[in-house]
Amino acid sequence: MAASASFSPHLRSRPPREASAHPLAPAQLGSEWTSNEATCDPAADSGDSARRRRREAVPETELGARARPLKSSGCRACWSASYPARSPTCGMLRSAVAALAPSGLPGRPLLLTALSLSPGKRLSSRGPAGQSEQRRGPAKPRFPPLRIPEEAETTRLVAEKARAPPPLRRFIACPDLARAVASSLQSGRRSEGPETVVLECEPGPGVLTRTLLNAGAHVIALESNKSFVPDLESLKEKADGQLEVVHCDFFRLDPMGIGSLKPPFMYSERLFENLGILTVPWTADVPLKVIGIVPQRKERNLIWKLLYALYERSSIYKYGRTELNLFVSEKEYKTLVAKPGETRIYQPLSVLWQTACDIQLLRMEPWPSFLTNSKNGGLSIPKSVLLQNDHLCLIRLTPRKNLFTDSLTTSNSRIFVVMVKQCLAKSKTKLIDKLNLWSSQGGKELLRQLEIPENITTGSLYPEQYKSLFEIMEQANEFDQSWLYDEDSLEDSRGINF
């Protein structure tokens, strides 16, 4: 029997006293009933009115055709097989429940099963369509556990399919590492929160993919190397709707220019539309988790590209507060979390990412933990002079709900980005000198409002202070933006093509 029946309009058009007695659906029954047990008045439900309501009960066929969670109108005894009916109304509700149950089975247990909350999202041919129907709590796979290949087997597969000229790629080949990464993705997740889709970038041989699926995750695998796609498609057939495979390069989404694109190049709007992923409000829960290893080539440029998309709420951030779980080099991680006073590494990226996101270090892995596709099997560890760079760091970047305000919006956020970049071009410059150039109100007054010392340097200001400073200048409507047309000496990749 379908799990979605509803009462007829007659039951919903009762007198106000009865219709408002218990607004709880069956899925909510439990301790919440304690304060409502005494609301049924048998005397009030006697006589002709009770018989009339019984005649208005929904026919069995209608209940079977239109199932919806029931709205309770009686006391706790109405829903318990242990209690006799306390009133004609209670009897009517018990009759309605019986219409849903096969003969010989008690009404209440089936009711709580048949009218439970809808199951979680399932990746159909169009992906997680209908994101409002989200399962609560950890998911369970609906298929037998998938076999995780041993590291040696994965190494042979990569040697066969990915030995090619640059770009260099790194893969998770060790099953233990895959389990640790999958566990890290679940860390800090509220058990009662909605189930989130995982978008896996460059899964390659699919070791992490299988591990995530075995853990109950719904996975969208974006793979740029066509050689890996057939094996992933074969895996999809075993995953019972929990896996989608797309020939696409996540790190090259939304290239500059207009025109049709061929895979693996793709526009995020087309990708998300095909997958059935819907836009949610910025203040809603995280709609999508991205997991991947940032390519070593132009790593800094890719981080800038994602940053611009975040402040403009474009690309992957158009659909909500997309959470990034990325392996980046240790030196880039240390730059992102640098603090004021760390002159050589406290950079615009530090201020802008800390302003926009909560940054968490999930784990650090030595470079040899990852398999590469280099011809000689080398590790290809990038050199670093200023910072230690012995690990790849898995970091979580969760956009803040309160990032955007009346004064910092998607329309003027790029001005904020450029302001921070110009301030930190020389971190020993006095902040008041910059402010005097940008505001007719005068830098001294702005600093006084924020209770910031007049002799502070641009490299000593915290990210939240930069944001507050920008908002005050915007509110004053005295922000001279002529400096925006000056040549920007700092390299970034707002729309770079690779």
Both 102 and 185 in a single domain?
A: no
Whether residue 169 lies inside any domain: the answer is yes
Q: CB of 362 within 8 A of CB of 325? A: yes
Task: Please give the helix or strand (H or E) that residue 471 lies within, else none.
Answer: helix 463-476
CB atoms within 10 A of CB 277: 24
pTM of the model: 0.71
Say what the pLDDT of residue 419 is.
Answer: 94
Both 29 and 169 in a single domain?
A: no
CB atoms within 10 A of CB 126: 13
Say what the pLDDT of residue 485 is.
Answer: 54
Best CA proximity match to 57, nearest among 39, 73, 34, 42: 73
- The confidence band for 162, taking pLDDT boundaries of 50, 70 and 90, is confident
Q: CB of 422 within 8 A of CB of 483? A: yes
d(CA 439, CA 458): 16
Question: Which tokens hold the place of 148?
Answer: 């995780």
Average pLDDT over residues 378-385: 77
Average pLDDT over residues 119-129: 39
Domain total of the chain: 3
Say what the pLDDT of residue 220 is.
Answer: 98
Both 205 and 308 in a single domain?
A: yes
Provide the mean pLDDT of the chain.
Answer: 76
Say what the pLDDT of residue 30 is.
Answer: 37
Both 239 and 356 in a single domain?
A: yes
Which residue numbers belong to the known binding site for S-adenosyl-L-methionine?
172, 223, 249
Both 363 and 214 in a single domain?
A: yes
Q: Is the pLDDT of residue 127 over 90?
A: no
* DSSP code of residue 370: S
Among residues 88, 114, 140, the one where a domain terminates is 114
Say what the pLDDT of residue 80 is.
Answer: 38
Q: CB of 24 within 8 A of CB of 72? A: yes
Average pLDDT over residues 370-386: 80
Residue 106 domain boundaries: 9-114
Q: CB of 157 within 8 A of CB of 205? A: yes
Looking at per-residue pLDDT, the higher value among 81 and 444 belongs to 444
Both 51 and 177 in a single domain?
A: no
Matching residue, tokens 């159909």 = 124
Say what the pLDDT of residue 16 is.
Answer: 43
Whether residue 304 lies inside any domain: the answer is yes
Give the model confidence (pLDDT) of 367-377 as tens digits: 999 999 887 76
Both 74 and 178 in a single domain?
A: no
Say what the pLDDT of residue 190 is.
Answer: 56
Say what the pLDDT of residue 83 is.
Answer: 37
Q: Is the pLDDT of residue 346 over 60?
A: yes
Both 464 and 318 in a single domain?
A: no
d(CA 222, CA 244): 9
Orientation angle between helical segments 175-186 and 207-214, nearest 10 degrees: 50
Handedness of CA 288, 292, 295, 296 (dihedral sign): positive
Task: Please give the helix or strand (H or E) that residue 420 lies within, else none.
Answer: helix 413-423
Both 445 and 336 in a single domain?
A: no
| 40-49, 220-229, 363-372, 448-457, range with the lowest pLDDT | 40-49
Whether residue 145 lies inside any domain: the answer is no
Say what the pLDDT of residue 386 is.
Answer: 80
Give the model confidence (pLDDT) of 436-471 as tens digits: 888 766 789 899 999 999 999 999 999 999 999 999
Best CA proximity match to 218, nearest among 195, 194, 189, 185: 195
Say what the pLDDT of residue 165 is.
Answer: 63
Say what the pLDDT of residue 478 is.
Answer: 66
Whether residue 454 lies inside any domain: the answer is yes
Both 212 and 331 in a single domain?
A: yes
Average pLDDT over residues 335-351: 95
d(CA 438, CA 192): 48
Which residue numbers belong to the known binding site?
172, 223, 249
* DSSP code of residue 127: B
Say what the pLDDT of residue 189 is.
Answer: 62
Both 183 and 301 in a single domain?
A: yes
Say what the pLDDT of residue 260 is.
Answer: 84
d(CA 26, CA 286): 28
Q: Is the pLDDT of residue 337 over 70?
A: yes
Q: CB of 287 within 8 A of CB of 196? A: yes
Whether residue 338 lies inside any domain: the answer is yes
What percent of the chain is helix, strand and coil (3-state, nearest 5)?
A: 40, 10, 45
Both 387 and 428 in a single domain?
A: no
Say what the pLDDT of residue 345 is.
Answer: 95
Q: Whole-angstrom distance between the N-terminal and C-terminal Cα of the chain?
A: 54
Q: Is the pLDDT of residue 298 over 70?
A: yes
